[in-house]
Amino acid sequence: MTQSRRRGFTLVELNLAIVFVALLLMAVATTIIAVSRTYQYGVSLKTVNQLGREVIDQMRRDISASDPARAEYYYTDLGSNRGVGRLCLGSVSYVFNSAALINAGGSSPVKDSTNRNRIIALARIDDKEGQWCQRDASDKFAKTALGAGDVYTEMLQDDIIAIAVHSMDMTTLLESEGAYSEKLVNVSLVIGTNETQTTDGGVCKPPTSASENFSNCAVREFTTIVPVIGGS
């Protein structure tokens, strides 16, 4: 009477199978992580681009409708890329806290005192009296906080990604005087994500930095040239 001999997997074969499955799982996980990071970066970049276009378009309309004599830009430099910017256009004013100033916190940023002292990123304020551009005897701006009488819109509101102004500037390219005063101004606005320590001087930190975050960092510059024409 013959007996059938059954041969199972050897220990070496089992180990090789486990290693193969482990390597396969690692490759799948690495691919998923890479795709996820790329997708998240795409979302961040899309958000910055969309908000940036909306803000620069609104600024262009407000600047072109303003009085050339009253269209001015002021920046209070507090050091280390921290500061408060004010774009004064007569009936409308824009006020922003720089990204670095928002991250630093403290008492320096412009806040909404009616909403738990929330720090604003970029506010478009109905400012028919020009109060946000008035200065006191020591040449300091009188208005430093949004109160109950201020009507404003937060231009960089986003519930998912923190967006802030990294820098802004407005320079006069041409100016003439006469029956009608005219200006041609260049506006540069740099906005982007504002995760703490992921940017340096208005740009995302390189991959070699220990605090870089490729997935959530996107900074873009938006520029526009605007003619400002009004009666003298």
Q: Model confidence over 82-96: pLDDT tens digits?
A: 999 999 998 999 999
Question: Which percentage of the chain shows pLDDT scores above 70?
Answer: 92
- Where does residue 203 fall: left (phi above 0), alpha (psi -120 to 50 degrees), or beta otherwise? beta
Q: Residue type at 112?
A: D
User: Is 143 a member of any domain?
Assistant: yes
Q: Residue type at 108?
A: S
User: Is 166 a member of any domain?
Assistant: yes
Q: What is the DSSP letter of 105?
A: -
User: Is 97 a member of any domain?
Assistant: yes
Alpha helices in the chain, H assignment, sequence order: 11-64, 99-104
> CA 113, CA 100: separation in Å to the nearest integer?
21
- If one counts the domains in the chain, the total is 1
User: Is 226 a member of any domain?
Assistant: yes
User: Is 173 a member of any domain?
Assistant: yes
Per-residue confidence (pLDDT) for residue 88, from 0 to 100? 93
> CA 121, CA 224: separation in Å to the nearest integer?
21
Let me know if 67 is exposed, middle or buried by CB neighbors in 10 A (0-12, 13-18, 19+).
middle
Whole-angstrom distance between the N-terminal and C-terminal Cα of the chain? 119
Domain limits for position 125: 12-231
Q: Which residue has the higher pLDDT, 218 or 230?
A: 218
Per-residue confidence (pLDDT) for residue 121, from 0 to 100? 94
- Three-state DSSP state, 2: coil
1-50 pLDDT, tens digit each: 555 556 666 877 788 888 888 988 998 888 888 888 788 888 888 989 99
Q: Assess whether pLDDT exceeds 80 at residue 170.
A: yes
Question: Which percentage of the chain shows pLDDT scores above 90?
Answer: 43
User: Is 2 a member of any domain?
Assistant: no
User: Is 44 a member of any domain?
Assistant: yes
- Where does the pLDDT of residue 205 fall: very low under 50, low under 70, confident under 90, or very high at 90 and above? confident
The CA-atom distances, in angstroms, between 42 and each of 14, 119, 155, 207, 219 are 42, 27, 21, 17, 12
Q: Average pLDDT for residues 193-209, to the nearest whole number?
A: 85
Query: How high is the mean pLDDT of the chain?
Result: 86
> CA 191, CA 156: separation in Å to the nearest integer?
9
Residue 107 tokens, joined: 């008492």
> CA 199, CA 39: separation in Å to the nearest integer?
20
β-pairing, 180-193 with 219-231? antiparallel
Cβ burial 163-191 (10 Å sphere, 16+ → b, else e): bbbbbbebeeeeeeeeeebebbbebebbb
> CA 81, CA 102: separation in Å to the nearest integer?
11
Q: Residue type at 200?
A: D
Let me know if 41 is exposed, middle or buried by CB neighbors in 10 A (0-12, 13-18, 19+).
middle
99-145 pLDDT, tens digit each: 999 988 777 899 999 988 899 999 999 998 889 999 888 888 989 99
User: Is 65 a member of any domain?
Assistant: yes
